[in-house]
Amino acid sequence: MTERRMTEPNPDRPIGVAAGLNGAAIRVEELTRKFGDFTAVDSVTFHVSKGEIFGFLGPNGAGKTTTIRMLIGLLPPTSGGASVSGWDVETQSEEIRRNIGYMSQRFSLYPDLSVDENIHLFSGLYGVTGDRFKERREWVLGMADLGAHADRMTGGLPLGWKQRLALGCAVLHEPPIIFLDEPTSGVDPSARRRFWDLINELAEGGTTVLVSTHYMEEAEYCNRMVLMNRGRVVAVDAPSGLRGRMTDPLFEIGTPSPPKAVEALKKGAGVREAAMFGRKVHAVVPGEGRGADLIRQILEENGVPFTSLQRVSPSLEDVFVALIQEEGGAVEG
């Protein structure tokens, strides 16, 4: 298969060819789901345009998977409503399931079947037969780089190949909308980038993609995204719009003792937030002026050595941490 290069992040790229059609691909209005006294999804509202790559982000327990399960007709809402391609999630769930693609966060194929047997199975489920089946089978094998491995048992494939095969089987019937729930969880960075090549190709062809992820770098490849926490929507915007919401100065500190630096800064007066960011520490100091001096003073008073201190532009991860903290923090445990 021809080697492809990952599309560079471009949150302002035009949405797919179907974007100009009337109506949204997905409409969600005050969608709520309760389990007894626990509210897993609380009055969630957002719209997804046709041909859009729409990210679904949030920490564990945010309500992402529960929302997706309602949208694909597997779980009825307690209140509110939603539609997918015009089908109502509560009254037309069968129509929705026949007209979408879905890939769950857990590997969704049959490990004791061969690659080809899985393709045949899902083709039958989706009613893909005859010449169309032959064409789609070749597409899946080529897309997943499995043309020479059609007879291999699926359970023995590397995880990246498994995920590409799962995506191929989910779109065998060429649905206009696909739902991908944590599709690259546990996959190495190279395989994740290859998987996003495929997502971009589908979107460029007009397919609407709703994808949940906890990898912040993947969020950069979405046209827009919704950030959820504790079952509620925290923000809906493009990556550039979200970054623009963080106006307080952000500083990056290089230190051989990141945990100790975070602890000292969190206790320091005038520091709004401090957290480890890879091998460094990021700290938010409201207002202009003496942010660097304040950080330097706190670290020196607490005996925390540091090798660098500079103001930096916020990443999406910085923005998400700040927004979630404003909403009370993530669910513990």
Q: What is the CATH number of the domain that holds 115?
A: 3.40.50.300
Residue 134 sits in the same domain as residue 264: no
Query: How many domains are contained in the chain?
Result: 2
Give the model's pLDDT for residue 301: 95
Give the pLDDT confidence of 8-65 residue by residue, as tens digits.
444 444 443 333 334 689 999 999 999 999 999 999 999 999 999 999 998 888 899 9
CATH of the domain at 268: 3.30.70.100
End-to-end, the C-alpha distance of the chain in Å comes to 43
Residue 3 lies in a domain: no
- The CB-side HSE value for 111 (13 A sphere, CA atoms) comes to 7
Pairing state between β 224-229 and 53-57: parallel
Residue 140 CA to residue 202 CA, distance in Å, equals 13
Q: What is the mean pLDDT of the chain?
A: 87
How many residues does this entry show for the chain?
A: 333
Residues 286, 174, single domain; the answer is no
Q: How high is the pLDDT of residue 278? A: 85
| Cβ(231)–Cβ(63) below 8 Å | yes
Q: How many CB atoms lie within 10 A of CB 234?
A: 18
* pLDDT for the residue 3: 34
- Tens digits of per-residue pLDDT, 244-284? 888 889 999 999 999 999 999 999 999 988 999 889 999 99
Segments of the chain scoring below 50 in pLDDT:
1-22, 333
State how far the Cα of 181 lies from the Cα of 98, in Å rounded to an integer. Answer: 18
321 within some domain:
no
Query: What's the pTM?
Result: 0.82
202 and 304 together in one domain: no
Last residue of a domain, one of 240, 270, 294: 240
Q: What is the pLDDT of residue 58?
A: 85
Helix (H, G, I), strand (E, B) or coil at 58: coil
Say how far apart CA 234 and CA 324 lie, in whole Å. 7
CA angle in degrees (0–180, nearest 5) for 320-218-276: 45
Domain that holds residue 255: 247-313
Decide: 240 and 221 in contact? Cβ < 8 Å. no
pLDDT of res. 150: 95
Task: Report the Cα 59 to chain-centroid distance in Å.
Answer: 11
What is the torsion angle, in degrees rounded to the nearest 10, for the CA atoms of residue 321, residue 323, residue 325 and residue 330? Answer: -70
Using CB atoms within 10 A of its CB, is residue 41 exposed (0-12), middle (13-18) or buried (19+)? buried
329: left (phi over 0), alpha (psi -120 to 50) or beta: left
Instruction: Verify that 190 and 283 share a domain, yes or no.
Output: no
